[in-house]
Structures are given as C-alpha cells and as structure tokens.
Amino acid sequence: MHDGQLRQGDVLARRYILRQPVGAGGMSVVWRAWDSTLERTVAVKVLDGPVGTDGGQRDRIRREARAAARIEHPNAIGVYDYGETVTPHGRIAAYVVMQLLDGVSLAGRLAEGPLPSVDAVAVAATVADVLHAAHRRGVVHRDVTPENVMLTTDGVKLLDFGIAADVGQRDTLTFGTPPYVAPERLVGAPASGSTDVYALGVLLFEMLTGAPPVQAGTWDELERAVAADHRPTLNVPGLPPAVASVCLRCLATDPTERPTAAEVAAILESSAERGRRLWVTVLAVVLTASVLAGLGYVWRDGARHDAATPAPSVSIVVSIPPAVTVQPPPGATPSPTRGRTPSPGASSGTPTPSLSPSAARLTPQQAGQAVLDVVSRRSAAGEIRSDVVDDIRNQVNNLMAVPPDAAQRIEMLRRQLLDRRREESITTAAAYEELDAAVVVFGASLT
C-alpha cells in the first residue's frame, strides 16, 4: 500500500483486529483480521492513504461493498460491513469487511496450463450463475478475469466488484483488463449484462486452451484486434459441441448475438449433468461388479465360475473427479461428480464394497476437495442443514492431513451421514447418496 500506516495489531472501528496482510493492490491492502464482536476471522480491505490523494479509490471501495452486498448468491464474495474510521495513527481509513477465502485464484491455476474440460465447464457454469444473479439486481461486474475468480474449499467464488456499474451506466473511461473487455466498451457503450457475458466467454476459452482468444496487453492492441475482426475457433478434443458453441457465441462482436448469463449457465449445467449421469452409470456398474466378484460370481467366455473354481483376476478402477482440480481418467470427458450412487449397506444390508488404494487414483487433498464440493453444492440447494455442513467440513479438513486413525474416522463420518439422513438434517436421498459415495472414495485415498 502506498504510504499506508496500519500495522499488525491495529484495531479498526474498535472491532476489527488486524492480524496480517494477505494481499495488496493500488492503494489498498487486504488484511486477515479478527472480528471481536462476532468472534470470527474475516478479510478487511483497507485504504488509509492521505485523503484527497487516493485517485478515487475510496469511492471504488464503497462501490465494491455496495455492489457485492446486492448480490444474493453463495458463490459471490460475501460482504459483511463497510465504514470509514480514524486509524490509531490519525488517518481516515475506508474499509470493507469481507468473507475470508481459503484457496487459489483461477489465474494461479491457469499458470499450470489449461483445465480439463469438465473442470472448465464447472467453473464457467458457476461464474455464469453468479453473473445471472448480479444482472437480475441490475449490477454489471465489468471485471470478470481469472484474477477475480477463486477456487476455494467452499467452491468457486467471484470477487472484486470494485468497477461494477449499474445497467445502463456510461463512463468516459474504459475500465478493466484488455483481453476481457467487450468490443462495444471501447466506444463508450453503456454497461450491460452482455459485456460480462463476453468476458465469461474469454474466461471459458482460456480455461480450455490456456490463453485468451485475443492477445492484448494494452488498449491500443485491443483496438487493433477488434478492427481486424478476428473470429476465434475452439478445437478441444472431447469438448461437447454445445459447450464450444456457447463459448463462441459469448465472444460475438455484436452484443445482441450473445446469450444471456442465464442461458450460458443453463447450457453448461446441462452439459455437466449429462457427464454426471455417465459417471453415476459407470460407478454403479463398477460397484456391482465389485460386489459380485466378492461373492465369487465371475463370468468369462459365457461360463460361470463360483467360489469353488479359480476365478480370473479382476481389476476394478473407480475414479470420481471433483469439480475443480482433478484430472479425469484418460479418454474420459464427463463432468465433475454430482450424481447419485447406491449407498453401500445403507438400508438393504448389502455388503459394503472395498475399494483399494489404487482404485481411487486421487490424492487425499483431491478426494477431500471432491467431498467439500458436494457439501457446498448441496448446502446451496438447501439439502444439508448449516450446522451439519460445518461439522462435515471440519472433519474433512482434518482428514486431509491423513491422521493415523483415518479409516476409523471415515467409517464414523459415514455413520454420522446416515444418522443425519435419518433425522432429515440431510433432506434428500440424492444428497446423502452422492455425499456418501464421495466419502468412500475419499477414504480410499487415505489408505
């Protein structure tokens, strides 16, 4: 921060105790802080430079707080408070208090290369849904970039509404990051949802290919690219045609030819759902084969072999990719898991199949993230009670450290899930079954 004077241990508004800086940009600093009133850890973005020299940053922080507070969506950054106060060093500081996120930015993930198509579709579908919620409230984000998308333990989050505008608002200057700015904004078109949809198309294109469709580091370079009327193509092996089509429609030069954020979310979610159904079918077949093999029934060349006849070895491989970071098996293109699986032994007394460590093909962190993703989605849908959500998250985060009694803890967690389902703290069978299946795979990754 330029000429900032806040220090660790300083208290803002007699409430927020600053612990450590976690990020900086322009004239503001984001601090990890302790809210002594509600007794929780939060993020506090603070501007404490000299009044009159902030170049409008104070208004930007205020606008960010107001815009984000208008968005009612679990995947939009949560804003708790805004204020201006005198710091312990005699400065007037503007601050916004936000949800503290644990994860990595999409930009950081993209530094490693493109995402698997299933993960790219999942991220873009979530961002599209947040934008739809914003547009319903008359808010245009105007800065949808990889830096402003976070991949967290609570799912995908859209951040930084600092240059957000009301629908129809006009500006004399062009704001944003050049490769993600819609062509019409270069000529002063009013803010509209279609400009966010263009940026969403760029985001999806970059996740799939590793680079935005237009390489422009400056406004002049962007203007030349727009004048050249370059039409990108999208050739990603295994990418569903509907996903490729909607991505290119988002990138249309004419804003009237672009879909709405709601339409993009629906198309991408539909593609993800088809992938989930495929994974459920595969998993059901694999689990059935595993149970039959365990009972001694193996078919080969049309003849049945029972326990008295030496059976050929059977290799069972189960892989359920979580929503953001896990590579699918070679040649597979289905979406991240959201489907249903039979709950082993939940009601019928069927023996629970045993999954070997090699069957999971996931690290504990990846498999644990898959469980957290299910929890986040099902919680957002109102299918898991909030206190149960917190309990599951705590147990999964502890298990990611692979404690020596991990197997026992997994079994205890599964029993608790079944109890929560019976008492209807988990309100739907679909939520329980998907969560239990993800925990089974998580357990296999810990052994």
How is residue 387 written in tokens? 């206190």
Integer Cα distance of 405 and 162 in angstroms? 46
Say which residue the tokens 């319903």 belong to.
136
Instruction: Please count the other Cβ atoms lying within 10 Å of the Cβ belonging to residue 50.
Output: 12
Parallel/antiparallel/unpaired status of strands 40-47 and 79-86: unpaired
Q: What letter represents residue 234's amino acid?
A: L
Closest CA to 276 of 324, 360, 342, 340: 340
| Annotation marks residue 160 as catalytic | no
Give dist(CA 139, CA 69) in Å, integer. Answer: 11
Do residues 232 and 211 make contact, with C-beta atoms less than 8 angstroms apart?
no
Terminal Cα-to-Cα distance of the chain (whole angstroms) = 46
Choosing from 81, 143, 154, 436, which is the catalytic residue? 143
Query: What gap in Å lies between CA 362 and CA 359, rounded to an integer?
Result: 9
Q: Which residues pair with 317 in a beta bridge?
A: none
Indicate which residues carry an active-site annotation.
Answer: 143
